Homo-oligomer: A and B are copies of this chain.
Amino acid sequence: MAELRSKPPAPADDGDAANFCSTCVFGTVCAAHDVDKIALSELHFLVEHIGPFRAGSHIFRTGEPFKAIYAVRSGVVKTVYAGSAGREYIAGFHLPGEVIGLAAIHEQRFPCDAIAVDTAYLCRFEFRTLATLTTRLPQVQAELFRLLSKDIGSATVLAGEPAADERLAAFLLGLSRRLAARGFSARVFRLPMVRRDIANHLNLAPETVSRVLRRLHDQGWIRVLDRQIELLRPDELARLAGALLPVPQVRR
């Protein structure tokens, strides 16, 4: 477990006047297509680079009026809903290239907090301007539809309420795959968040997370050393997780 890459504290690629960030959701959309050059440059002009946000600081808060959506450029961000009885539910952990804030469109207010887990940099997209632009950039509109649709699915996945082991297996594998898609090792990685966050994401007590990790460790399917994780038997984990897994990225 020595070859673990430590995440760079600053974004590797900020983009410039001619290009989007390498992680940008809209980068791939615009690169290959014959799009309206003027509109494209407007889209580019619309992007606002913000950060750094230190671990624990808010990108937006529950109840704030909705003005913009955000794409994670570097670091990790969690979206946190206030649950009943003082509990909090973490809807997701968002890696570079992923977009947050889309759930706020409906009520025009953010329904959750967005909090940096790591030191995080983001891109800000003023939504009204973006929505206007999409009428001239159908590919961007399609991408927005797709992003919104994706979030419906991801919210639904955990709702099936499987056993603790399955949830944790699905969580680890999902994280592994998303990291792999970003050029990191799929086998060995470091959990960016504390146990309590994992617990709140999977609807478990932190103690249960500990115990399940230990169980998986004792079975020889993973190795756990603090936040260092090594997946020894991803096949077994996948079997455990069952239909719960986010499909291994077909598109984008």
Contact = CB atoms under 8 A, between A and B. Distances in A.
Nearest to A101: B149
A161 interface: yes
Interface stretch (A11-19, A48-56, A102-110, A209-217): A102-110
B87 A160 contact: yes
- Interface size, A (range): 35 or more
Contacts of A228: none
Main secondary structure of the interface of A (DSSP, over half): helix
Contact of A160 (B83, B107, B148, B244): B83
Interface stretch (A20-28, A150-158, A171-179): A150-158
Contacts of A138: 131-132, 135
B131 A81 contact: no
A33 to B, nearest CB: 15
Given A107-B247, A152-B151, A145 B144 contact: yes
Contact of A150 (B89, B106, B161, B251): B106
Contacts of A244: 84
Contact of A105 (B91, B132, B149, B158): B149
A178 to B, nearest CB: 15
Interface string A83-122: 1110101010000000000111111100100000000000
Contacts of A203: 159-161
Nearest to A241: B84
